[in-house]
Amino acid sequence: MKRLKEDNLKHFFAEETLKKYSVVFIIILAVMLICELFIFNFKWVNSAFDKKVDAEMTLSGINESGTDLKFTSDSATIEYKNLNEELKYLYFKPGSNKGGVADITLSAVDEANSSYFSAPSRTVLTDVKSSEYIRLRFSGEVKDFKITVNGMNGKTISKDNIGLNVRVPLMFSWIRFLLLSLTLMLLYVLRPKSFVYNYKTDLSKNWQRIVTLALVAIQIITFWNMIHWNTGVLEWHKSYEHHRQYYSLIDAIKEAHLYLDFEPSSALKNMDNPYDFRERYAQNVAFKWDHAYYDGKYYVYFGAAPAILLYLPYNLITGNDLPNYIAVFIFGIMIMIGILLLLWEIIKKWFRNTPFALYLLLSVVFGAAACLAYAVQKPDFYLVPSLGAIMFGLFGLAFWLSAERKNEDGTTSLISWRLAVGSACVAIIAGCRPQLLIVTVFGIILFWNSVFKERTLFSKKSLKQTVAVCLPFVIVGAAVMWYNYARFGSPFDFGANYNLTTNDMTKRGFVWGRTGLGIFTYLLQPFNMDAVFPFIHDFNAATVYQGLTLTEMLMGGVLWLYPILVIGLYGAFKKNSFSDRRSYRFVYFSVIFAVILAILDAQMAGLLTRYFTDFVWIAFIGTIITAFAYYEMLRDNEHSRRKFAGIILTFSVITLVLCFLSIFAHTEDSIMKANPTLYFTVQHLIAFWM
């Protein structure tokens, strides 16, 4: 009987039925409920029978008035003498109103230390209740105990806001419970043995369109909420002039000129070298930070396309300036759609057996790693042209891929309007971030046979298609070259070298000594990891390069931060795994282009986190195609297919987790400083053991 029950149970869980999934989901909910009550709230359980310790306080930098304590020093202390008690918990609430915050350092004389031993400092906030209850780990009985309080000068709290060995209340987090439950349910649905891999991607089916649109809607809502996390950055367009450059450009265009309406100071005009950063400060010269200065005028060296396409219409319609984070949000939405469109065209052309679940999963990972995670952390002006270039690159490649159609006789034909739209999108990249025009080479790969074998492009019989491909480049190229010539006297000078920044970029040049550092830092540098939330942390790049190299706080190389990119790197060395040589060339050149762009960014500007957006999305194209190709190749080997699906799922989850953690890891313009309530709420939800 027992054996029969076991067989029935195995059979039940082996079958892909709605009943089984219902049971599994109920189990997940039950397990998560138990975890939320007894693991994530272990302090509540652990302190259930504790008795509060009442002891006399010795105060320094604090005035006592009845039951109130008023802090009169930036560094005040509260000391308990001769306790001789085992201390398990400290309760410290830095105020009775919202917004209270303090940094506290706890010290003790215990059985292992005859003089004060200090633990690492902790931040406590009235808006984050879990931060107020601190688990103490001193050795044995504590004789003396001291609390050093920073950041509360002038504040008053009640004595009841401080307690030793208090009972920690139950702090049930519905957000944590629901998110973890839904995540585990989703992972179960996406496990390699799941039925979802039986459904091939086919967006001509209504149910797949509905699911895809639902995913886009969820991403948009999530992105909109997350983009508001770093509240400090949202207001930069109001307070920092260099974040208002598109506004200044729009004002100039409306007045029918290209220079900005700022008259450079006479001191700047009279300098022998106005680009000498140290000399400007030595002479106390007034200047516009990060603006292009040329021939006695200020200009915007950032691509003008976003200003014309977004900022100008908004200004003309509303009379106001478009907040930069809104531009980031708009481009972010279009990038989500562009990724789905590009992946769909790749599937239609080369990998018809790709599961719908894989299509959706990789589209989400693609967007998060390529740019959207960084956009959440810093949705500022500098990101706008980069996101615009990525968006146009995605749509351009998608339309180019969709332009080629197989005829019934086996020949191919090209759809002119799709060619034209694709070329227009790619060409507009020049008006956003010119170095990303490197994706034009993908067009050469794609249409190589059309030009040299089938003669359906650049031949007498294909004049219409040839015009469709070339005319957008001619029009946009002419506009961009005129724009450059009108400002800087050369059609090929975009003006970035005239930037008034920390160094003279007119003398920067191309130095091979920076190449190795750029490749290592951007691609191969391991991240800095420890046991403190957010577990990965930014750091300064180390170098002994004897010259000028510009760096900011970095996170690590992209192969560490986005490990799923290893799949594309692997595919670049597996030529015979691709049935269509063009798909392999996309993979191979995506890796080459990523390396080239990393070198160019290191040479032209330096080592900055935001430049990841230049090449990660291109590298991701190779990863996507490799993943689809291998899944296609293994479709007749069920065991290997499931194993590979597990690899993709594992790399995807790790990449998404690292993307999320990286949002909180930046110390420059960090969320921790701008929005401490959010930062420490997330910290305590994840690092519940604190």
- Taking residues 4-27, what's their average pLDDT? 75
- Whether 349 contacts 400, CB under 8 Å: no
End-to-end CA distance of the chain: 48
User: Reduced to 3 states, what is the DSSP secondary structure of residue 147?
Assistant: strand
Residue 655 clears pLDDT 80, i.e. is over it = yes
Place of tokens 């839904």: 182
Q: How far is it, in rounded angstroms, from Cα 595 to Cα 558?
A: 11
The pLDDT of 101-106, averaged and rounded, is: 95
Q: Is the pLDDT of residue 671 over 60?
A: yes
pTM: 0.94
pLDDT level of residue 10 (50, 70, 90 thresholds): low
Residue 1 has pLDDT above 70, yes or no: no
Residue type for position 455:
R
Cα–Cα separations (whole angstroms), residue 98 to 25, 531, 538, 682: 38, 29, 30, 17
Both tokens of 298, joined, read: 């200020």
pLDDT digits (tens, 9 = 90+) for 456-470: 888 878 899 999 999
Q: Could you report the per-residue pLDDT of 255-304, keeping only the tens digit for each?
A: 999 999 999 999 999 998 999 989 999 999 999 999 999 999 999 999 99
The predicted pLDDT at position 406 comes to: 80
Peptide bond into 306 cis (omega under 30): no
pLDDT above 60: residue 4: no
512: pLDDT strictly greater than 60 = yes
- Residue labelled with tokens 């930070």: 289
User: What is the radius of gyration, based on Cα positions, of the chain?
Assistant: 30
Cα 24 from Cα 76, distance rounded (Å): 53
Structure tokens at 664: 């909180």
Please give the single-letter amino acid code of residue 58. Answer: T
Percent of the chain topping pLDDT 90: 80
Strands, DSSP E only, in 83-137?
Answer: 89-92, 101-110, 113-118, 122-125, 133-135
Using DSSP's 3-state secondary structure scheme, residue 50 falls into coil
pLDDT higher than threshold 70 for residue 524? yes
Helix (H, G, I), strand (E, B) or coil at 355: strand
**Which residues, other chains included, contact 464 with Cβ-Cβ below 8 Å and sequence gap of 6+?**
416
Beta strand segments in 263-400, E: 292-294, 297-299
Average confidence (pLDDT) over 490-510: 88
Q: Of the given ranges (138-147, 293-302, 630-639), which has the lowest mean pLDDT? A: 630-639
What is the per-residue pLDDT for 339? 98
At residue 647, the 3 state secondary structure works out as helix
Residue positions counted in the chain: 690
The CA-atom distances, in angstroms, between 344 and each of 21, 142, 331, 475, 578 are: 29, 65, 20, 29, 18
DSSP state of 430: G
Per residue in 360-374, pLDDT (tens digit) is 999 999 999 999 999
Asked if pLDDT for residue 423 goes beyond 90, the answer is yes
If pLDDT is split at 50, 70 and 90, which confidence band does 11 have?
low
pLDDT reported for residue 176: 96
The predicted pLDDT at position 8 comes to 62
Q: Are strands 162-164 and 89-92 parallel, antiparallel or unpaired?
A: antiparallel
Strands (E), 129-245: 133-135, 142-150, 156-158, 162-164
Distance between CA atoms of 499 and 516, rounded to whole angstroms? 25
- Mean pLDDT, all residues of the chain: 92
pLDDT of 597 > 90? The answer is yes
Cα angle, residue 552 at apex, residues 547 and 555 outer, rounded to 5°: 120
Helices (H) and strands (E) in the chain, counts: 28, 18
Using CA atoms, how far residue 88 sits from 124, 132, 139, 613, 661, in Å, is: 17, 14, 10, 47, 30
What percentage of the chain carries pLDDT values higher than 70? 98
| CA–CA separation, 73 and 71 (whole Å) | 6
d(CA 344, CA 320): 38
Tokens for 248, please give them.
């200044």
Instruction: Assign domain 57-164 one CATH number from 2.60.120, 3.40.50, 2.40.30, 1.20.120.
Output: 2.60.120
> CA-to-CA distance for 380 and 235, rounded, in angstroms?
9
Mean pLDDT of 597-613: 91
Tokens of 249: 């450009």
Q: How far apart are CA 623 and CA 571, in angstroms?
A: 8
Helix (H) or strand (E) holding 65: strand 62-65
Residue 80 has pLDDT above 80, yes or no: yes
Q: Assign 510 a pLDDT band (cuts: 50, 70, 90).
A: confident
Sign of CA dihedral 360, 362, 365, 366: negative
Q: Give the contacts of 609 (CB within 8 A, at least 6 positions apart).
A: 374, 538, 552, 553, 554, 555, 666
Q: Grade residue 631 by pLDDT with cuts at 50, 70 and 90.
A: very high
Residues 69-106: b if buried by 16+ CB within 10 A, e if exposed: bbbeeeebbbbbeebebbbbbbbbbbbeeeebbbebbb
pLDDT tens readout for residues 177-223: 999 999 999 999 999 999 999 999 999 999 999 999 999 999 999 99
Average pLDDT in the 87-111 region? 93
Domain ranges of the chain: 18-41+178-189, 57-164, 202-232+322-409+416-444+461-686
Phi, psi of 411, rounded to the nearest 5 degrees: -80, 170
Bigger pLDDT: 17 vs 65: 65
